[in-house]
Amino acid sequence: QKEVEQNSGPLSVPEGAIASLNCTYSDRGSQSFFWYRQYSGKSPELIMFIYSNGDKEDGRFTAQLNKASQYVSLLIRDSQPSDSATYLCAVKTSYDKVIFGPGTSLSVIP
């Protein structure tokens, strides 16, 4: 089992819809959770991080963490074509290492 797993996609949603991206992790002692966005040919950039159970909202983005079930999700409301990118989930494990998932490709259709 890989340490951090994501559906590779591509995930296609119409403009204005909610995009839901999911990530599961294997290390139950993981501490911090990050979502990065990577446009084609560019470097990853942080969108959000979440440290404790529950939801965290920042504009159109909401990160949800469920430690009991070991998954993290990212919701993008009112999706825009500019949101089309690969979204990388990253997890800081109990042994102090940040592991990136393979990423989910999102395409927002105008």
- Residues in contact with other proteins by CB under 8 A are 32, 34, 42-46, 49, 51, 88, 92, 97-103
Helix/strand/coil for 38: strand
Q: Which is nearer to other proteins, 46 or 109 (CB)?
A: 46
Q: Which is nearer to other proteins, 43 or 69 (CB)?
A: 43
* Rounded least distance, CB 70 to other proteins, Å: 19
Helix/strand/coil for 104: strand
* Rounded least distance, CB 17 to other proteins, Å: 27
**Could you tell me which residues are beta bridge partners of residue 45?**
37
Q: Which is nearer to other proteins, 17 or 99 (CB)?
A: 99
3-state helix, strand, coil in the chain (%, to 5): 5, 55, 40
Burial (0-12, 13-18, 19+ Cβ within 10 Å), 70: middle
* Rounded least distance, CB 18 to other proteins, Å: 25
CA angle 25, 30, 35 (to 5 degrees): 65
Q: Which is nearer to other proteins, 36 or 108 (CB)?
A: 36
* Rounded least distance, CB 50 to other proteins, Å: 10
